[in-house]
Amino acid sequence: MRYSAQVKPISYLKANAADILLNLAERREPLVITQNGEAKAVLQDVASFEQTQETLALLKLLAIGNQDVDAGKTKPARAVVERLRGKAADSR
């Protein structure tokens, strides 16, 4: 994705807000908004934003898992399964 094609000044946003929102939803590409020639904000549709947030949450879980592995905070799967089976049998 080339962000250079999706750069607009804030004046364009002010004058074309409704059209911009339609395009964001249809194209699902972010729009970089500039002010005084500098990039100041990025607009994106809600569905893309939610997808990004879910992806970041999964990546955070993976990073935490990797930290646990590095710190030796793991147990063999067999031991965990046996413990869970034991709890299931106790609750009957």
| Local confidence pLDDT in tens for the 92 residues of the chain | 676 679 999 999 999 999 999 999 999 999 999 999 999 999 999 999 999 999 999 999 999 999 999 999 998 999 999 999 987 777 76
Output the pLDDT for position 16: 97
| Structural domain containing residue 65 | 46-92
Let me know whether 88 and 52 are in one domain: yes
CB contact at 8 A, 32 and 39: yes
Let me know whether 34 and 51 are in one domain: no
Let me know whether 39 and 60 are in one domain: no
Q: Which domain CATH number covers 15? A: 3.40.1620.10
Q: How far apart are CA 33 and CA 9, in angstroms?
A: 5
Let me know whether 74 and 84 are in one domain: yes
Beta strand pairing call for 7-9 and 31-35: parallel
Let me know whether 62 and 25 are in one domain: no
Let me know whether 40 and 11 are in one domain: yes
The mean pLDDT of the chain is: 92
Output the pLDDT for position 86: 87
Domains: count for the chain: 2
Output the pLDDT for position 30: 95
pLDDT in tens, 44-59: 999 999 999 999 999 9
Let me know whether 40 and 67 are in one domain: no
Output the pLDDT for position 88: 76
Let me know whether 31 and 60 are in one domain: no
